[in-house]
Chains A and B, each alone.
Chain A
């Protein structure tokens, strides 16, 4: 049979595709090279973390939280342990608070570095990818010397952190912070300042301010669309109100700005880390917490600024050693819905770039 004219066709991208950052699957409807519609299909990494929490004690669930956004493990645990502490009314020692901030911000830097890395890799920038992962490696080394693990740390505890950092940690962190401006210049030179990279990313995949707000986009994606909103400033948790840092905001709303804002945030994290290193006191790292954690009946909602977006922990306790219900609001899961909204009309190559700029981690999307 002869077919008159042209025809749309659909292509399965994922779950095994080089640029879907894990096991994300999208059914892409194409007209030639132009994307007409995208249907995200999620759930390939679903592990039922929320249900798992109900059959484990409060302390037993801490390792699982690292597996949500596995590129920035510490910040997930931070949200969880702070939610439980809020429920129980535990005061955390000063030094533990500072260590938590240091690890959380290091996790943010690692996550943002990897986002820039994979974003550049998706437009075939192997060298920027290599540079970013090379520097992220130093953060993972810092994690390893403290917690023994490189990505899923299991370092935070309800009431503090599991143990103090080793002696060589502080000098290594200081030298990393000193090298940071040079690294950022290098990334700019090879990736952000590159003419072809700019032509690939600038004014591609526009996410307007209104659309971003209506879709409940959070995190750096929202700030790249011109909304200055950061949970660390809007509702400071832990000791974040003590630090002097800016919330960078860009108004381009495009893929380039969504990449570039990560670079700016890395610089802000550096400020926080420097202040934390300056102010960190000596002392215990663990509060007096009963061996069996048994919060009083009640419920709590606690939210933190994860590198991927706002992360909320809703915990219902019925007074036993196990939570009655845990609900996790993850930024990446909500951010998925911006993909079909902004991708229509762009080429299949832009789809990959736009997808990279959303900075999804499938552990967080599928939970």
Chain B
């Protein structure tokens, strides 16, 4: 079990061992390139697979058939979708701001990929072990607003523009409760490093200490990833597809890739912060526990998406500023109070 647990760490160590000096610049470079490719593959495969699972789940919820032609029970459908998307003609409308129009989807995918850098997939399995890991994640994910606004602005379409503005309003509003909900955990552990936060949950996952924060994080996370009931940005029934209206083929595919990649990243952070990361009963390796927990969070997100209807734009704002934000502030206060009482008995916690 220990060998299985550390399989990826050992592989990395073996590759390092191939170099004469295992801590030289070339060894670091080689490892980084391999890690980058691995992360990219993880994101692409997860997103493609998720696009199929989402449809399967939706059809299960709403009692339809779903994709069921290609492969056993349609489980190869996502390959066909990817191939179809790659083969499509690259269309862009006249009078678009071509530079922004072309760069927006790439930027969104790039940003999403950057967020994967700090996710601890297992013990020692983190691409960049940043001391400000969670801070970095929040900073990076807030840039994605810019990409959506660029797409909406560059498309030269009123529906796209509305979608772009909605994206800015919504994502900036929900970033604040998202950030504040994570503060409670940071106050307890007194570190921004995601691996250290996971290690602090060896005995008890923080969902039991911070249930309110987990709820706020989940809601704000669904809003950050633009999924129903907060999918104002796409708002298919009123603004066609929001910023993505004019996109087709692979560029549209990149947007979808980024969306599902974001879902996975948000769930991964939820798992690391609240659900105990890679810790779990010993009969499965840690990284598998991590993946299983991510799927659990994703299933909750899907369940919400296919049960609820879309909120209205102004209700959405009220919900962020008048309910989630005060709740997250209250959570910070309660956490502080709890830490103070705890410290009366034990002089120092955390670090």
Contacts and interface: CB of A to CB of B under 8 A. Distances in A.
A9 B158 contact: yes
Given A130-B62, A199-B315, A348 B162 contact: yes
Contacts of A191: 309
Contact of B314 (A196, A347, A352): A347
A91 interface: no
B237 A352 contact: yes
B191 to A, nearest CB: 37
Interface stretch (A54-62, A117-125, A292-300): A117-125
A196 B309 contact: yes
Interface residues of A, number: 32
B254 to A, nearest CB: 22
Interface in A108-128: 120-128
Interface string B235-258: 111111000000000000000000
Q: Is the interface of A mostly helix, strand, loop or mixed?
A: helix
A196 B58 contact: no
Contacts of A327: none
B133 interface: no
Contact of A200 (B58, B64, B236, B311): B311
A194 B309 contact: yes
A194 B228 CA distance: 14
Interface in A191-240: 191, 194, 196-197, 199-200
Interface string A1-23: 00000000101000001110000
Interface in B291-346: 306-315
A350 interface: yes
Given A11-B159, A122-B237, A130-B62, A350 B312 contact: yes
A131 B58 CA distance: 12
Interface string B100-142: 0000000000000000000000000000000000000000000
B108 to A, nearest CB: 22
Contacts of A128: 309
B258 to A, nearest CB: 21
A337 interface: no
A163 interface: no
Contacts of A347: 312-314
A349 B313 CA distance: 8
A199 B312 contact: yes
Contacts of A350: 312
B58 A126 contact: yes
A130 B162 CA distance: 29
A19 B238 contact: yes
A126 B307 CA distance: 8
B231 interface: yes
Contacts, number: 77
Contact of A131 (B62, B313, B314): B62
B163 to A, nearest CB: 11
A351 interface: yes
A196 B63 contact: no
Of the listed residues B159, B310, B312, B314, the one surrounded by the most CB atoms of chain A closer than 10 A to its CB is B312
A116 B159 CA distance: 26
B277 interface: no
A200 B308 contact: no
Given A196-B229, A196-B309, A349-B312, A11 B158 contact: yes
Nearest to B228: A124
B61 interface: yes
Nearest to B231: A124
Interface in A48-73: none
Given A122-B237, A348-B162, A352-B238, A33 B313 contact: yes
Given A11-B158, A131-B63, A123 B239 contact: no
Given A194-B308, A196-B311, A347-B312, 11 more contacts: A9-B158, A18-B240, A122-B237, A130-B63, A134-B64, A199-B311, A347-B313, A347-B314, A348-B238, A350-B312, A351-B238
Interface of A: 9, 11, 17-19, 33, 120-131, 134, 190-191, 194, 196-197, 199-200, 347-352
Interface of B: 58, 61-64, 158-159, 162, 228-229, 231, 235-240, 306-315
22 contacts: A11-B159, A17-B240, A18-B237, A19-B238, A33-B313, A120-B309, A121-B237, A122-B237, A123-B310, A124-B236, A127-B307, A129-B62, A194-B308, A196-B308, A196-B311, A196-B315, A199-B311, A200-B311, A347-B314, A349-B312, A349-B313, A352-B237
In the A-B complex, the 10 residue pairs with the smallest Cβ-Cβ separation, listed nearest first, are: A130-B62, A124-B310, A125-B309, A19-B237, A127-B62, A123-B309, A122-B237, A352-B238, A197-B309, A11-B158
